[in-house]
Structure 1
């Protein structure tokens, strides 16, 4: 039990918590009833993988974490039943989090919706708000109450494999408009929003899953971009911020021009960036959660257990994930014992964790039966909103030879060259639906066999179809001609002088950098079957290409436009 002087809870009465007397009393009483281990465990979010049926709940009951992040299966009823049971068995209500990012990151039992870059291409804030409401309502139906979105990163470095389709593009105005609409829609639906990745990703073309990335902006430049976005989110009442494994040397060097390696300390373990800049200068009062705590963006900077302590010292209120809870608790207890981590800092973090739970109404949760909640999944109006997004997003970047529209009469014989849908999360490449969709419309489609000759004389159309959305540990996304074609000689072969040729990207929007002479190019942003069908409609002239590019698809290359 806590036997130290009571911590002031006045900040919980302020935005973004806005707790009333009853909720503040619940926070105080709940904190007072926690033993030493339980109060520390409230500062952790535990990952839950695998089929719902395999989760007895015993591990969660033993650990008593503040939250869980569920990596969902396609069985919505099993997932809702599991989360309901965990909540019923928890002494303190659980924060249940997910990455609601759309497309392949849509909940597998819910409506598949466009990802942020596709919504930015549509550029209709009313649609973004509606899609966000659908995502939040369906997430709440299964038991999710916290999303690590929206993404405020800026698509400035086109080689960035970790921003691209997860964010709303490169224009700050467009990012602000859509991200704030998403955050507001989430929180109105009872899902706490979490803006990320603090202090801002997108000016480094590397991936913080693999190393500490660097925001290279001056503070003046940072303020006009990320400062503006995060201030807008804070003013809008966003409940949480994710402190990421990104350095901001300009801020550190304001106080110490000779900071050396400390200028490149990740924000997640930097008191300067997390407490002084985010809490102090920007005035954020909500909950701060670390990004996944065992990513190489932090573990390449310091040892894993030490990093957990440093995250709390820096000002993070919750730590995302632990692969060895006993090790990490031991490290935190040791730091408390030797005074390198203060009890006051732990208490402050605990109050914000409990405060977020109270702000979401978890202290008086009145859940409907799971069957009633799940009836809200995939409703016709949700499907219609998602379909509108998919249909309006495809962007005709260029068509210098007037290829489109195509038809099964003029372009009956099609050679499709594809590496499939590439996703580290989903395992081996996934087959595209596009060949079968085209066959149903009268096209005769052959899928190219890597390493074989390209008999262009046998075809009326060659389509390159690439499916690489932004996902972790890719390092680089680029048009790998050698991998695509399977032979170094074939990698140098180009088809468009002999037969009409086009490229479609169902994801990463920058392949023209590696194929600037491609005569026709379409960006479609999402790998979902729904997007593939929408693109086919556009290519056949059944719908107009309506998307407006939210990034520079020409990567600054003048010749790529021709």
Structure 2
């Protein structure tokens, strides 16, 4: 069966069949009160564009269906593309070319869907009987006898006994309370809608059970297919944070037939709430489950409160252990899966070779292509073991940029030889390890695609970003690197896309370029409508959509998403055994402790140590951070009888801040640089304090909490540590090293050399 395409029928028979486009725009029918038993099926078939109302909000459910109308309904379902081309000759003497449904009847005859009477007529305007309905549907869908017992006492000797038995044995038709089927009774519009809806749902379920994705796609409307290719965020609805499945969210899932959603920290109150949310979202999804994704990279990018607080990718890079990295991926996946999430937008495979990168930094494993490749593959393996899809990012590489693609359009000017040796290496390794999802970068790569387009922002000529480039996605990723999995875009709300390309143009161009899933379209409803229109008009080939949807369905099946049998009660009961478990916390601590790296040392091995009875000043620009460090220091110091103070360094007032440090025996000078260009960071205040500490020969430690590039911008640092994050496990490990309780064994995973 071919891809269903919604078309406007040229012929109208009275008020009973109107254009599909009008039907799709109608409000719920107003005359279904007497047929509540059929309401769901009628609405289902109307949404599919198969049946329609009279144009005044009425469906007229008790009206009889004619043979011509029945054929039209089935042709709309089974042969929509042939409707576009015309039907040829009908072959029936009573169906002239002027008949309103000549084309549909001709298509039905051509495909063996409907046969005429012995006298060569079709009797198109005769009411369809319940027996004929069974025969039509059995023939149209090649149905076989099912396993259910069927005993209808008035059908045994009927000419349609066989198709009636097939339908009833599959639970697709039923009899009246007196045990009869009444085969010669005319079928009503309500009854026909119920029978047809049951058959379609039956066939879809059979396709899912058989994992016959081509067959399932043949029963999906264009709306359903392109909906699978959209993954909006749900942070807010009407200005309110979304933490439950509200009516607006339900409508979006149903109206746009959404295939996935991405959650953010705003959607999450606690682990029980988010588990309830994801469960209810899946219950709204119909027979095809949702991708539910999140950015849980660890470290600076994490969304789950109360879960294991992994130190982050650069900490793993400093530890340099693939076994430990695999364990981190596995425990992350176990916690996400327990919460009902099935995609982690991680690991980051960008090689942070540019210290001025404002957005990647410590989200990367490091600046060495081989290290990033090995640890990326280990993370993918760990996530896969837990049953969560790894979506690696950002292809072909966002590491050597100094522009944040959230804010602008970066351009990477390296030649192809350099891209192969550095940026592409981790992605090639991921593909060799059969990664199933790759996220694109909104970055231009002229060495691969030098096309220029006119920006809608200011009319200037701008290079095409990878997300919209066929040469990058189809040429490089699919053909040259041999990738066969799902391609998902980075967020379409980012300025690199939103400023330069219109919503419709960008979405359509991304799909044409090879993107399978659009992440976070600015206007999901508009994106959905645009894609439906592009397919119906032939602007986007149906084969392109089919291939993408098949990859999506295969991946959902591979990770068990179609099995939604686990109850919410069971999910909630298991949370305490998984989220932040003792075993997971142990891995968290091990990563943090093994990551601590000496940046500078007087003896070449250790930072300055804190001694018994020291007056310790904790100096930083962030008072809250200083308070956290103070608590950790007091807790870890035990019987050392330390006296602790906090000094907040205000911008441009380093000298004043140092006055509060003059009586200190030891100074912890905490530095945090992330999400800005390192060379433009305010290093002057830090340098001033270091110079004064050196002049007075004080013991101190420069404690790097963010991107570990201090040694590029600071001079004469005599004692320093990098912990790769300002969160609890990282800073606690650093404090332990300063107290002499832990040896710093991490290796700096980036090149801290000033770029020329």
The answer for the alignment partner of 2:310 in structure 1 is 113
1:304 aligns with 2:304: no
8 Å contact 1:52–1:78 — kept in the other structure? no
For residues 441 and 317 of structure 2, what CA distance do their matches in structure 1 show?
A: 23
**Distance in 2, Cα, partners of 1:85 & 1:6:** 34
- Report the Cα offset of residue 454 of structure 1: 2.2
Q: Distance in 2 between matches of 1:394 and 1:55?
A: 40
**Partner SS for 1:396:** strand
1:481-560 mapped onto 2 (5 Å cutoff): 481=683, 494-498=692-696, 499-555=698-754
Aligned 8 A contact 1:192 1:239 in 2: yes
Q: Could you say which residue in structure 2 is the equivalent of 1:212?
A: 409
1:386 corresponds to which of 588, 597, 611: 588
Aligned-pair CA distance for 1:176: 1.1
Structure 2 unaligned spans of 5+: 6-78, 82-206
Paired residues for 1:344-383 under 5 Å:
344-367=543-566, 369-374=570-575, 375-383=577-585
Q: Which protein, 1 or 2, shows the higher relative CO under an 8 Å CA cutoff with sep ≥ 6?
A: 1
* Residues 409 and 389 of structure 1, relative CA distance in 2, 3 Å threshold: same
Is the contact between residue 52 and residue 79 of structure 1 (CA under 8 Å) also seen in structure 2? Answer: no
Q: Which residue of 2 aligns with 1:443?
A: 642
CA RMSD of aligned residues (A): 3.1
Query: Distance in 2 between the 1:453 and 1:550 partners?
Result: 32
Which residue of 2 is the match for residue 27 of structure 1? 213
Q: Deviations over 1:260-297 (max 9, x none)?
A: 99883110111111111111111111100000111012
SS in 2 for 1:362: coil
**CA–CA distance in structure 2, aligned partners of residues 27 and 404 of structure 1:** 60
Q: Which residue of 2 aligns with 1:457?
A: 662
Relative to structure 1, the CA distance from residue 143 to residue 220 in structure 2 (aligned partners, 3 Å threshold; closer, same or farther) is same
Alignment partner of 1:77 is 2:275: no
Q: 1:325 to 1:548 in 2, by over 3 A?
A: same
Partner of 1:142 in structure 2? 339
TM-score normalised by L of structure 1 = 0.86
Question: Post-superposition shift, 1:415?
Answer: 2.5
> Which of residues 186, 193, 197 in structure 1 aligns to 2:383?
186
Other structure's SS at 1:502 match: strand
* SS, match of residue 309 in structure 1: helix
1:217-251 residue CA offsets vs partner (Å, 9 max, x unmatched): 21112112233322221121100110110111111
Q: Contact 1:183/1:193 (CA < 8 Å) preserved in 2?
A: yes
Structure 1, 498-507 or 52-61: larger mean CA deviation: 52-61
Q: Is the 8 A contact 1:507 1:527 kept in 2?
A: yes
- Give the 3-state SS of the residue equivalent to 1:97 in structure 2: strand
Residue 406 in structure 1 maps to residue 609 in structure 2: yes
Deviation at residue 387 of structure 1 after TM alignment: 0.8
**2: CA distance, partners of 1:321 / 1:229:** 25
The answer on whether the counterparts of 1:268 and 1:290 sit within 8 Å (CA) in structure 2 is: yes
Matched, 1:322 2:521: yes
SS in 2 for 1:213: coil
Q: 1:536 to 1:346 in 2, by over 3 A?
A: same
Deviations 1:136-195 (A, max 9, x none): 111100011111111111111111122221111011111111100110111122111111
Aligned equivalents of 1:501, 1:386: Cα separation in 2:
27
Matched, 1:268 2:472: no
Query: Which residue is equivalent to 1:243?
Result: 440
TM superposition shift of 1:109: 2.4
Shift, 1:463, TM fit: 2.2
Question: 1:339-383 CA distances to partner (integer Å, 9 max, x unpaired)?
Answer: 433333222222222222112121234436112431222221111
Match of 1:424 in 2: none
- Out of 252, 255, 267, the position equivalent to 1:63 is 252
Task: Tell me if the contact between 2:405 and 2:495 (Cα under 8 Å) persists in the aligned partners.
Answer: yes
Q: Which residue of 1 aligns with 2:295?
A: 99
**2:677, 2:601 → 1: CA distance?**
30
**Which position in structure 2 is the counterpart of 1:162?**
359
Rate the CA distance shift 1:26–1:205 in 2: closer, same or farther, 3 A: same
| Cα pair distance change 1:61/1:32, threshold 3 Å | farther
Aligned 8 A contact 2:619 2:667 in 1:
yes
* Contact 1:404–1:541 under 8 Å retained in 2: no
Contact 1:122 1:392 (C-alpha < 8 Å) held by counterparts = yes
Helix, strand or coil at the partner of 1:457: coil
Structure 1 residue 500: deviation in Å? 3.0
In structure 1, the gaps of 5 or more residues are 8-20, 422-428, 558-562
Measure how far apart 1:22 and its partner are.
6.3
Q: What is the DSSP-based 3-state SS (H/G/I as helix, E as strand, rest coil) of the residue aligned with 1:417?
A: strand
TM-aligned CA distance change 1:198 to 1:349, over 3 Å? same
CA distance in 1 between counterparts of 2:453 and 2:270 reads 55
How many residue pairs match? The answer is 528
Distance in 1 (alpha carbons) for counterparts of 2:626 and 2:486: 41
Contact 1:244 1:291 in 2 (8 A): yes
In 1, are the aligned partners of 2:493 and 2:520 still within 8 Å (CA)? yes
Q: CA deviation at 1:477?
A: 7.3
1:467 aligned to 662, 672, 679, which one? 672
Structure 1 pair 265–23 and aligned structure 2 pair: CA distance change class (3 A): farther
- CA-CA distance at 1:68 after TM superposition: 1.1
Aligned with residue 235 of structure 2, among 45, 49, 54: 49
Which structure dedicates a bigger proportion of its chain to strand? 1
Secondary structure of the residue that 1:249 maps to in structure 2? Answer: coil
Asked whether the equivalents of residues 601 and 718 of structure 2 are also in contact (C-alpha less than 8 Å), the reply is yes
Q: CA deviation at 1:526?
A: 1.6
* TM norm structure 2: 0.65
CA, structure 1 residues 490+116, in 2 after alignment: closer, same or farther (shift >3 Å)? closer
Give the drift of 1:52: 8.4
Residues 405, 539 of structure 1: 8 Å contact kept: yes
What is the distance in 2 between the residues matched to 1:547 and 1:377? 27
Report the alpha carbon displacement of residue 552 of structure 1 after superposing the two structures with TM: 1.8
Number of the residue aligned with 2:285? 90
Of 114, 125, 129, which aligns to 2:322? 125
**1:114–1:38: structure 2 CA closer, same or farther, 3 Å change rule?**
same
Q: CA deviation at 1:197?
A: 0.5
- 1:190 and 1:477 mapped to 2: Cα distance? 41
Q: In 2, distance between residues paired with 1:460 and 1:304?
A: 59
Partner of 1:15: none
Structure 2: distance between partners of 1:233 and 1:195 = 8
Query: Hey, what's the Cα distance between the residues in 2 that align with 1:354 and 1:59?
Result: 26
Structure 2: distance between partners of 1:415 and 1:430: 13
Deviation of 1:100 (Å)? 2.1
